[in-house]
């Protein structure tokens, strides 16, 4: 039984990561090079800036071939989860996690994507990780492709811009479904396809200096191919996985507000919202919404689709919606607003919201609105598979980290999740982003920390790698142990920086 203060008994509690941001060991265990292994850390733009430093060019790949590629590549070392996974999982268990979202590194299984047989050493690594999780009563949630793919598929086909990626992706999906069918119940086909609009290299392995097509068209073309890949993987999963397995989509959900009640502004907000919901429309309902087809036509975007694609999409719909939620966005009918559909941080500042040091508006109520909106529109369960606060933490001399601001952030969002459940939304669980400090996706830095667990490591990979419990560690443990009742304890300090 639940009362108003507690979450449902089967609510999944935990944290979320991605292979390329934690594993390291980029050239061990037979792993091939990944698109993420080329992501640079650029100190001059990272700290406090919302800058995607992840764009890689074909020229970079040529330089790498010639042994001339220079830079700092933190995703190659991650936080060494590859070697320290037991210790990390034990800490997750200590917090009471019942779920852990992670991804499988595609090039660990198929080093170039093109092999006919998988790399057994890679498969064996994930067996060990899943066994360790399950031994602690933690259900893995596994993303097939979280911002990485074998670099060979970029070199050869320019990533998802080509349909040629479909066959290697579906082969990869089939391999891991077959191997882990008895260990993994929850799957996600792709991480945040909608971020292709922000970084088409990160999301889809496309280098822009090897195509003449406009960037926006490239992003939607790659997305179309990923939709097909996702639908074909769902179809394979239905054939291979046990009936209680669940395969979901995952989008970066950004709630959009009109700046004023002027109908034109409201219409603009609606359009941007439709652009964000486009991904779930296709993957939950199984077809393209008219609003996007009109958007393509109005903007002269020629997204090529083949005969039979409609059927593939219609047959490969997902069981649940995973969302990352970090912020809302404010907009108005103004020049350039039509282009904002892919922005991570809105061009207009909402005066009612504070921002993180990276300029991300903090909006817990927006999460409740989003959960309601997704449920009202689709009536399929929603899983919050990312949410959290990236901040600069200070490790004190006595090995403590006082991260009240993080406690406040997660507290306020969880309160709104609880409200959404009371509103009638089917929320499967909450996996906060980066329960242990990890390499930032957008900026490849270590100093943008999300964790309840501090990792003693700097932006250049220097440090002992020691794991240290922050103040938020015991706070989150108490929230989980009380199924949310501890949220009503003493009010935490509001976001202080
Ligand atoms: C999401 C990604 C994650 C992640 C998170 C935080 O979009 O799915 O991989 O890292 O954002 O972003 P960042 O690391 O840039 O702070």
- Tell me: pLDDT of 137 over 70: yes
Q: Residue 245 and residue 43: Cα distance in Å, rounded? A: 42
Closest C-alpha residue for ligand 1 atom 5: 441
Q: What is the pLDDT of residues 203-237, one digit of tens each?
A: 999 999 999 999 999 999 999 999 999 999 999 99
Query: Ligand 1, closest atom to CA 440?
Result: 14
Show which residues are catalytic: 192, 386
Pocket perturbation via mutation, ligand 1, pick of 433, 435, 450 by most ligand atoms within 8 A of CB? 433
Q: Residue 170 and residue 228: Cα distance in Å, rounded? A: 10
Tokens of 393: 């933490």
With CA atoms as reference, report the closest residue to 54 among 165, 178, 198.
198
Lowest mean pLDDT among 277-281, 390-394, 442-446: 442-446
Lowest mean pLDDT among 34-38, 44-48, 285-289, 418-422: 44-48
- Tell me: pLDDT of 50 over 90: no
Q: Residue 330 and residue 353: Cα distance in Å, rounded? A: 11
**Residue of higher predicted confidence among 19 and 342:** 19
Query: Ligand 1, closest atom to CA 191?
Result: 8
- Which residues sit with their C-beta closer than 6 Å to ligand 1? 18, 147, 191-192, 252, 324, 386, 390, 433, 440-443, 448
Percent of the chain at pLDDT exceeding 90: 88
pLDDT reported for residue 497: 35
Q: How many angstroms is it from 387 CA to the middle of ligand 1? A: 9
Residue 440 banded pLDDT, cuts 50, 70, 90 = very high
Residue 310 banded pLDDT, cuts 50, 70, 90 = very high
pLDDT reported for residue 286: 98
Query: Ligand 1, closest atom to CA 195?
Result: 7
- The pTM score is 0.95
Closest C-alpha residue for ligand 1 atom 4: 441
Per the CB < 8 A criterion, the answer to whether 45 and 443 are in contact is: yes
Average pLDDT rounded to a whole number, residues 405-428: 98
Q: Residue 254 and residue 344: Cα distance in Å, rounded? A: 8
pLDDT reported for residue 442: 86
- Indicate the SS3 state at residue 43: helix
- Tell me: pLDDT of 339 over 90: no
- Tell me: pLDDT of 25 over 50: yes
Pocket perturbation via mutation, ligand 1, pick of 441, 443, 450, 459 by most ligand atoms within 8 A of CB? 441
CA-CA distances (angstroms) from residue 1 to 9, 219, 422, 430?
8, 46, 13, 19
Residue 359 banded pLDDT, cuts 50, 70, 90 = confident
Q: What is the pLDDT of residues 141-194, one digit of tens each?
A: 999 999 999 999 999 999 999 999 999 999 999 999 999 999 999 999 999 999
Q: How many angstroms is it from 239 CA to the middle of ligand 1? A: 32
What phi and psi values does residue 431 have, to the nearest 5 degrees? -120, 105
Average pLDDT rounded to a whole number, residues 23-47: 88
CA 467 to chain centre: 23
Write down all domains in the chain, each with its CATH number in brackets. 12-488 (3.20.20.80)
Per-chain mean pLDDT for the chain: 94
Average pLDDT rounded to a whole number, residues 301-319: 98
Average pLDDT rounded to a whole number, residues 366-370: 98
Q: Residue 14 and residue 24: Cα distance in Å, rounded? A: 22
Percent of the chain at pLDDT exceeding 70: 94
Residue 338 banded pLDDT, cuts 50, 70, 90 = low
pLDDT reported for residue 229: 98
- Tell me: pLDDT of 313 over 60: yes
**Signed CA dihedral, 374, 377, 378, 380: sign only:** positive
Q: How many angstroms is it from 204 CA to the middle of ligand 1? A: 15
Average pLDDT rounded to a whole number, residues 359-377: 96
Q: Residue 475 and residue 67: Cα distance in Å, rounded? A: 48
Q: Residue 73 and residue 135: Cα distance in Å, rounded? A: 34
Residue 8 banded pLDDT, cuts 50, 70, 90 = very high
Instruction: Render 408-438 in DSSP notation, one character per residue.
Output: HHHHHHHHHHHHHHHTT--EEEEEEE-SB--
Pocket perturbation via mutation, ligand 1, pick of 442, 445, 448 by most ligand atoms within 8 A of CB? 442
Q: Residue 26 and residue 141: Cα distance in Å, rounded? A: 22
Q: How many angstroms is it from 297 CA to the middle of ligand 1? A: 31
Residue 367 banded pLDDT, cuts 50, 70, 90 = very high
């Amino acid at each position: 039984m639940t009362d108003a203060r507690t979450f449902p008994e089967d609510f999944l509690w935990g944290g979320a990561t991605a292979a390329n941001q934690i594993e390291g060991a980029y050239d061990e265990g037979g792993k091939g090079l990944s698109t993420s292994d080329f992501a640079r850390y650029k100190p001059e733009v990272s700290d406090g800036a919302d800058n995607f430093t992840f764009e890689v060019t074909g020229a970079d790949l040529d330089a790498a071939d010639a042994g001339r590629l220079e830079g700092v590549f933190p995703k190659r070392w991650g936080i060494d989860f590859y070697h320290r996974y037991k210790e990390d999982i034990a800490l997750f268990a200590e917090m009471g996690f019942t779920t852990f979202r992670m991804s499988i590194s595609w090039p660990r299984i198929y080093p170039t994507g093109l092999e006919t047989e998988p790399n057994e050493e890679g498969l064996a690594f994930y067996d060990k990780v899943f066994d360790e999780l399950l031994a602690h009563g933690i259900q893995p949630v596994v993303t097939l492709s979280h911002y990485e793919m074998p670099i060979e598929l970029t070199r050869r086909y320019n990533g998802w811009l080509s349909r040629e990626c479909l066959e290697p992706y579906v082969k990869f999906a089939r391999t891991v479904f077959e191997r882990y069918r008895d260990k993994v119940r929850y799957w996600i086909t792709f991480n945040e396809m909608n971020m292709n609009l922000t970084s088409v290299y990160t999301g889809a392995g496309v280098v822009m200096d090897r195509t003449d097509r406009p960037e926006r068209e490239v992003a939607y073309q790659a997305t179309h191919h990923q939709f097909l890949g996702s639908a074909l993987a769902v179809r394979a999963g239905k054939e291979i996985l046990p009936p209680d397995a669940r395969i979901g989509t995952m989008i970066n959900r950004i709630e959009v507000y009109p700046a004023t009640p002027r109908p034109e502004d409201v219409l603009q907000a609606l359009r941007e919202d439709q652009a964000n919901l486009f991904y779930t429309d296709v993957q939950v309902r199984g077809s393209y919404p008219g609003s996007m087809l009109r958007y393509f036509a109005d903007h002269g975007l020629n997204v090529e689709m083949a005969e039979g694609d409609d059927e593939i999409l219609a047959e490969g719909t997902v069981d649940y919606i995973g969302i990352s939620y970090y912020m809302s966005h404010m907009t108005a009918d103004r020049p350039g607003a039509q282009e904002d559909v892919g922005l991570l941080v809105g061009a207009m500042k909402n005066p009612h919201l504070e921002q993180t040091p990276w300029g991300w508006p903090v909006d817990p109520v927006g999460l409740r609105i989003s959960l309601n909106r997704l449920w009202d529109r689709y009536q399929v369960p929603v899983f919050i598979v990312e949410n959290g606060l990236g901040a600069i933490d200070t490790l004190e001399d006595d090995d403590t980290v006082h991260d009240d601001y993080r406690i406040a952030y997660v507290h306020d969002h969880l309160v709104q999740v609880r409200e959404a459940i009371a509103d009638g939304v089917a929320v499967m669980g909450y996996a906060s982003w980066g329960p242990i400090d990890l390499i930032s996706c957008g900026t490849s830095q270590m100093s943008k920390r999300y964790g309840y667990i501090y990792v003693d490591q700097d932006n250049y990979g220097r440090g002992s790698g020691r794991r240290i419990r922050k103040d938020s560690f015991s706070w989150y443990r108490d929230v989980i142990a009380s199924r949310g009742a501890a949220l009503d304890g003493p009010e935490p300090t509001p976001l202080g920086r």
